[in-house]
Amino acid sequence: MHVHTSSQGRLSLGFGGYTCNWGVHMCGLYDSDAERDDLVYSYLHQGDVDGEKIRYYHADPTPDRFKREYARRFPAEASHPDDPGRFTLLSSEQRCYPTGRFEPLAQDPKLRAFREQAAGGPGIRGVGEMDWALQGVPGTEYLLPYEARLNNLFDGVPALMICIYDLRRFSGSTIMGVLRTHRFSISRGMIVENPYYDPERILAESGLGWPPLL
C-alpha cells in the first residue's frame, strides 16, 4: 500500500507492505517493547538493504543492544551497524543534549548538515527514540515547538525520520501535541494521516519567535 507523503520518489518502509515518498517526518507510537522493536528493526533493515544511510538515535547509553538484536534478526547484515558509512548510531544525549541541556536552536548546524548529506544521496532514513524527554533534561519544555519546526527540514530532500514515543510513559496531552507536530503517525503497523496536524499553530502558541530553520 502506498501512502502519498510528498512529490518525491518512493521508498519501501519495510513493514506492512507500505511504501511512501521521501521528505517526511513521522511519529511512531507504541505500547510494548515488541511493537517498538518490530517497527525499528524492520524499517531500518529495509533501508540498509536498499543502500541508504541509516541514523539511529537510541535511548540506551550504548548501541550494543541494537547491534546484538540486529545481528540476531538479520545475520546476513550483522556487520553493517559497525560500518560508519552505512550506520550512524548516537545516544539521545549525544544527539540532543550534549551539554546537559536541550537547546533547540543549537541543533540547527547539525540539522543543516543532515539535510546537505541527504541531498547528496542516496537518502537517509532514521529513528529517534524520545524517552530522553522524560528524564528531566533542562529545555525539554521546548520539545514540541522543536518538533513542529523540524518538518521543513525534509522538504525536497530524500530523508525520512520517525520519532518514536512510548504510550505507556508519555502523557495524553504530550501525545496529542506529538500528533499536532507530525503529519503521519505509525501505530500497530499502520500509517495514519493525523487530522490534528498543525505545526504552525504549535509554533505560534509557543510565543518563541524562532527564525525559520531553512
Find the DSSP H helices in the chain. Answer: 33-49, 64-73, 92-96, 108-119, 143-150, 172-181, 199-206
Tell me which amino acid residue 60 is: D
Task: Report, as an integer, the average pLDDT of 68-87.
Answer: 97
Q: What does the pLDDT look like over 92-138, one tens digit per residue?
A: 999 999 999 999 999 999 999 999 999 988 999 999 999 999 999 99
CB 19 within 8 A of CB 192: no
Q: Please, what is the Cα angle at 3 between 17 and 199, to 5 degrees?
A: 130
Closest CA to 177 of 137, 136, 139, 133: 133
pLDDT recorded at residue 121: 85
Integer Cα distance of 97 and 31 in angstroms:
26
- Going by pLDDT thresholds of 50, 70 and 90, the confidence category of residue 167 is very high
Largest Cα separation within the chain, whole Å, is 50
Domain 2-206 maps to which CATH number in 3.40.50.300, 2.40.30.10, 3.30.420.40, 3.30.300.180? 3.40.50.300
Give the whole-angstrom CA distance, residue 57 versus residue 92.
6
3: which DSSP letter?
A: E
